[in-house]
Amino acid sequence: MAGKLNFSLVAPEREVFAGSVDQVDAPGVEGDFGVLPGHAPFMTTLREGLVTVYDGAQRRRFEVKGGFADVNGEGLTILAEEASELTAN
């Protein structure tokens, strides 16, 4: 599918990530889910786990401790209770 997904990951203290990406995988309370550009709208709660952001060959991972995900015509927004980026070892 052509195009990019607008993605924003926000924690109470700051915006942790914002940009146009190819795909985001997240830990929903009813199971993990992936969002690509043009995904159907939905809203769900998140459990503790990893959010993985794919952009071309790059992959970034963020640990979240609950929150909400909103997919709409503008893209994906995650409002996390806590979020931090994991660094590669």
Domains detected in the chain: 5-86 (2.60.15.10)
Q: Could you tell me the pTM of the whole model?
A: 0.93
Tokens of 2: 């052509």
- Look at residue 87 in the predicted model and tell me its pLDDT: 86
pLDDT in tens, 30-76: 999 999 999 999 999 999 999 999 999 999 999 999 999 999 999 99
- Look at residue 2 in the predicted model and tell me its pLDDT: 63
Q: Which residue has the tokens 């929150």?
A: 67
Indicate if the pLDDT at residue 88 is higher than 90: no
Whole-number Å distance between alpha carbons of 38 and 5: 8
